[in-house]
Structure 1
Amino acid sequence: MNNVVNGSGGLRIENNGPVTKNENQKTTNHIYLHPGERSGEFERWMREIGGLLQIDREYSALKPLLDLIVAVLEPDRIFLIPHPAIEKCDVKACMEIILILDGWEYDLNRNEPIVRSILELVCLRQSIIVFNLFAKKEWEKKLEKEYYYYMAHCRSKFLVFSGNPYRLIDSEDSSIENSKEIFSGKFNNQITKTERFLEKCKTLLSDDEVIPDLAYALISSCLKQIYSLVISTFSLDIPVLSGTCKELEEMAARVLPQLRGQIKKNIDNYPTLDVLDFENFEDDKLRMKSRIPDMVELERLLDIAKIAFEQKMVVLFGRE
């Protein structure tokens, strides 16, 4: 379609055709409003047509929530990545939302708790949603340098909102395919290590006379190993070994949301209990069992991680 302009500050429609890596990447969207002398009106309309670019009917219930996020945070882009239910393990479907925020280059890390509090309030009734937040300039640099996480997740097929007048340029197919191989290789290597780790711990825990504090240390290590497996696969530049189990769970849920809330017991509280409150070994064992998960729960969590990972690979890259 040729350019069509309807008066000063009116509607402009362009069709720029396919864009290759060699062409100017600052290419306008197919439809936009030319501001002319009416910049205020232009910005108002940009917010309106910068609503949902594309969203499947099955996710239409998210539209009010996404519109509210747009109004409050004015993101540069929003990407939406579905995570299917795992019926075998009675795990509900989840949604991963990636927000690219403009103007947060120097204070996103400092203010991220505030932003997340806003998002938690917005999503009060949507516990199945997880968010990943990135400052625009940092995100653009990493996308340009073809960091695997950004290439795989931040693609036009997952873009549901753009407040940016420039078209999103996807990475080359070969680069995206390479990110798939990297993810799969890292995950499979770590799975072998994790399964062996859990098996060794299971053998030690089968002893009826195992000391409760040793049992706690083994279970805690197994749980951290599972979360670290997920985090290190996607390499989001976050510390893996120094956090509590709860912190690592939140990090892992950022990329595989189905892991959130699967371990009901708060294992991090176990060492804080006063040992003097317990008079004998049997009481101490009861304390341990009430506070920490067992191997059955950990094996179930690992099973969920395996299935969730395979599902995400299909969502990101399609079936082979």
Structure 2
Amino acid sequence: MKYIEQLLKGNKPVNLWLYLPFPLFFVGLMFLNWIGTKMLHQSTSEIIRANIELYGKNINFLMTVGPMIFMLLMLLAWVLGVQKQSFISLTTSRSKIDFKRIGVSFGIWSLCIIAMFIFQYISNPGNFEFNLKFFPFLGFLVIAIILIPLQVAFEEYFLRGYLMQAIGLASKSRFVALIITSLLFGLLHLANPEVEKLGYSIMIYYIGAGFLLGIMTLMDEGIELALGFHAANNLIGALLVTSNWTAFQTNSIFLDLTPVEEGSSAADLLIQVGILFPLLLLLYSRIYKWNDWKSRLFGKVLTPKP
């Protein structure tokens, strides 16, 4: 049985109305948070800067990712307790979760991140400052190793799991599920300070990453590869290099001092999304012997006849 069709496992009836409350609750919270920010007449960057001055970078990081941990617990309680869906069927079409897939995906993208950083550092060493402070970094390392995988898990289980399965079943289209969840992934990052500093061109990356993760999920019939990629992207990135204007401002090893106007241009983003991401998908397709791309990405979701 394919990943989206996991909802039909055991020929149990699926009440699609039960898939509305949690997304409405989450979107409502995001909207209230946005309204609150507007009422304070402060940018996201200013709020983050004020929190860092008051509490320090590690506590600010806890405040940033903490709500996502709460939302993960809420989501799992709803899915497992109310909708009675198994955790494995929310994760994969396989009989058990493939942790090796998570590790392989994490390792491959971690190497890519480190390689890209080395290239940037060699090209423009003056744009980076060695920022390692042992004890603050050690504290952040412990926090990050625990919390970032949980933050990533919420985004993946909510978008590539919960919503992709529900939208796929409701629309009977794998492609509709891919389109909607990928666009939502981008929109969830709309309030990030990166958008404020770099402009809406950064959405090329966020939406492109959403499509990458969605294609991984549909082609591999599970979210293990997406979990590994996303965890590497957030964890290794936060530990290795951050700046004073991104969503994650952490006690990282390096500080990126690149002037904002010299940051990621639309062309740079298109190269990453249009070249690097497809190459990554090609590599995964060779490793896991993906085939029948048309059916897996554009095919109908098969539901039993009444």
* Structure number with higher relative contact order (C-alpha < 8 Å, ≥ 6 residues apart): 2
The TM-score with structure 1 as length reference comes to 0.26
From the two aligned structures, give the one with the greater strand fraction.
1
From the two aligned structures, give the one with the greater helix fraction.
2
The TM-score with structure 2 as length reference comes to 0.27
Structure of higher CA gyration radius: 1
